[in-house]
């Protein structure tokens, strides 16, 4: 093998390694991104359940409702950052995210943007001790979750 051929094949080898490394890194990142967002959604699910259960009581503990509403309010504006390209069904990692998230980014952003104000209103009502108001608003918050899931989440 001539020197230039050897250099060429060494360069090709390095390029192949870099490519493989890049693909592996992307896969690791996709897994982390997907698992982290699922954990965040689980927290929202727990908060929602705590509020629905809590508001069934005759005299709900409104501090608990407010705290759970705050959890959702805090996470809601971040939803848009949890779905970078490459973390959809094509990632080969278990996810319920539908491809529509990436083909209809404006629709997804709109669905996401409805959650924070709805949760913030619920938090305000809970802090004010307005049980009836909170009971009505928790349904609106739940409807906001469902509105996105119906379009963008696999059943």
Interface contacts to ligand HEC, rule CB under 6 A = 34, 37-38, 41-42, 44-45, 48, 72, 79, 95-97, 108, 111-112, 115, 141, 144-145, 148-149, 152-153
Residue number, 14 or 150, with CB nearest to ligand HEC: 150
In sequence order, which ranges of 55-114 are alpha helices (DSSP H)?
Answer: 62-75, 100-103, 105-113
Q: How far is CA 45 from CA 18, 71, 91, in A?
A: 40, 10, 24
Residue number, 89 or 133, with CB nearest to ligand HEC: 89
Residue number, 66 or 111, with CB nearest to ligand HEC: 111
Structure-token pair, residue 81 = 């950052």
- Minimal distance, residue 121 CB to ligand HEC, in Å: 13
Place of tokens 């959809």: 88
Place of tokens 């508001």: 55
- Minimal distance, residue 15 CB to ligand HEC, in Å: 33
- Minimal distance, residue 85 CB to ligand HEC, in Å: 14
Residue number, 48 or 126, with CB nearest to ligand HEC: 48
DSSP state of 104: -
Sign of the CA dihedral running 33, 34, 38, 39: negative
């Amino acid at each position: 093998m001539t020197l230039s051929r050897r250099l060429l094949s060494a360069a090709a080898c390095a390029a192949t390694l870099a490519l493989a490394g890049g693909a592996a890194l992307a896969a690791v990142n996709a897994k982390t991104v997907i698992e982290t967002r699922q954990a965040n959604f689980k927290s929202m699910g727990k908060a929602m359940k705590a509020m629905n259960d809590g508001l069934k009581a005759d005299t709900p503990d409104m501090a608990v409702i407010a705290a759970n509403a705050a959890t959702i309010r805090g996470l809601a504006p971040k939803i848009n950052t949890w779905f970078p390209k490459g973390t959809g069904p094509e990632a080969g990692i278990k996810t319920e995210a539908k491809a529509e998230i990436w083909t209809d980014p404006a629709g997804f952003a709109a669905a996401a943007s409805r959650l924070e104000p709805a949760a913030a209103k619920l938090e305000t009502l809970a802090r004010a001790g307005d049980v009836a108001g909170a009971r009505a608003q928790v349904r609106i918050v739940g409807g906001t979750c469902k509105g996105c899931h119906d379009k963008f989440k696999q059943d």
